[in-house]
Amino acid sequence: MTPQNTTLGIWLMVATALVFALQDGLSRHLAGEYNVFMIIMIRYWFFASFVIVVAARKAGGIRQAAATRQPFLQAFRGVLLALEVCVMVSAFVALGLVESHAVFAAYPLLVAALSGPILGEKVGWRRWSAIAIGFIGVLIILQPGFGVFQPAALLALLAAFMFALYGLLTRYAARQDSSAVSFFWTGTTGALTMTLIGIWFWEPMAQGDWVWMGLLCATAAFSHFLLIRAYEVAEASAIQPFAYLQLPFAAALGVIVFNEVLRVNVIIGSCVVVAAGLFTLWRARVATS
């Protein structure tokens, strides 16, 4: 068993958030130049290769990594995540990193709201209140009815819903399958899904952009390695709040590299959403302690 080290786990989660933000910046750049489905397909080819190599090196090999009693659930999870990535990257291109991540930060609130009907978990009035306040924060970001609402923001909200559902289904799958099995199915079924979709949108890529594509694939694999390592050395409840650092990291990248504008309503709304999300995480930890 891996010794627990919360401090190391926190730093690994901070590093994970940073690498995820860099990955999002690379995705935004490439998807702005080429078809989104093609970019995600190539990324998943590398991800699947990484997953297979990791599985092959462990005891039991690929056969054990693929062994599951719930193949339809595992396949659905993989397909759902692949499609969520497509939706989110489309939001990056249409809306920008800053506002996409500001809206996407609501996904832990969606997890809390859906954990009752999907997992049968009890959600008390305190968490329901935090969920309601969090979605007020989302409305502050979106500003519906003020003449500046962008329909593209609904892409980020859809991605948040899809990722929340993916997270809950992962927890449901964990009742029978190990994380290694879920990880294997996520990579392989996602790659198959994106190949069936993306191969129809293939287009030549400039030689220089293959360098960016290589960096995107490398950051995708490295971020998952960091995340797995973080959860190995520390309890999820202790380090999960630091995943929110992806929001300021991505926002800084959007402003500095892509010349995006950080509007006041986005700052205020993001603070409300993150505060509500942190409260729901804390209440979930209290409920299970």
Residue 180 burial class via C-beta count within 10 angstroms: exposed 0-12, middle 13-18, buried 19 and up: middle
Does residue 168 form part of some domain?
yes
How many independent structural domains does the chain possess? Answer: 1
Range of the domain at 46: 6-288
pLDDT tens-place string over residues 225-272? 787 778 777 776 677 777 888 888 888 898 889 998 888 888 888 888
Does residue 242 form part of some domain?
yes
| Residue 18, SS3 per DSSP | helix
Does residue 11 form part of some domain?
yes
Does residue 193 form part of some domain?
yes
Could you tell me which of 243, 247, 254, 251 has the C-alpha nearest to residue 272?
247
Residue 154, pLDDT > 90, answer no
pTM of the model: 0.86
- Amino acid (one-letter) located at 241: P
Does residue 1 form part of some domain?
no
Tokens at 47, concatenated: 């991800």
Does residue 116 form part of some domain?
yes
pLDDT tens-place string over residues 44-77? 999 999 889 988 888 788 888 888 989 999 999 9
Does residue 139 form part of some domain?
yes
Does residue 74 form part of some domain?
yes
Based on DSSP, count helices (H) and strands (E) in the chain, helices before strands.
13, 0
pLDDT for the residue 147: 44
Pairwise CA distance, residues 16 & 19, whole Å: 5
Higher-confidence residue of 275 and 46: namely 46
Q: Note the residue count of the chain.
A: 289
